[in-house]
Amino acid sequence: MNRIILVGILGVTCLTQAGWAQAPQTPPNSTAPPLFKGERKDTDPNGRTVEGTVKNDDDEPVEGAIVKLKDMKSLNVRSFITKADGKYKFSSLRKDVDYELKADLRGLVGAPKILSIFDSRKQAIINLKLEPPSKDSEKKDADKK
């Protein structure tokens, strides 16, 4: 048993001395993501941003609405919960992908909007409006059951 431990320690020591067991070093000017949460300083300079405000029927900003951004290529979804001013923002978006935006809050839904690959704006503004579900959508849901 002691020999196994000794052989293991010697093996690791030899590998470390030879440089094989070292962790890869990050160059000083690397754009690696930070090891803590917060806004990244190395956002894609070629990417784009979409932002806007979620409003209700009375045209007032909605706090606590969930805005979902769906990547139409990979089908990944990112979410943002609006603050008191009703604003949302998604950054570092690819230019070669369409994105679908939807907002909802406790039964109120917004019509989906698309950020298209043909929209060349680096910073797009897409405002969303929450409305009660229509009678047609309620009837369709009832027919499904």
Q: pLDDT by residue (tens digit) across 6-45?
A: 445 545 454 445 554 444 454 455 454 554 445 454 455 6
Domain-by-domain residue ranges, the chain? 48-133
CA distance 26 to 88: 33
Interacting residues of 22 by C-beta distance below 8 A, sequence separation 6+: 16
48-133 adopts what CATH topology? Immunoglobulin-like (2.60.40)
Higher pLDDT, 29 or 94: 94
Beta strands in the chain (DSSP E): 48-55, 66-71, 77-81, 87-93, 99-105, 108-110, 113-115, 123-125, 128-131
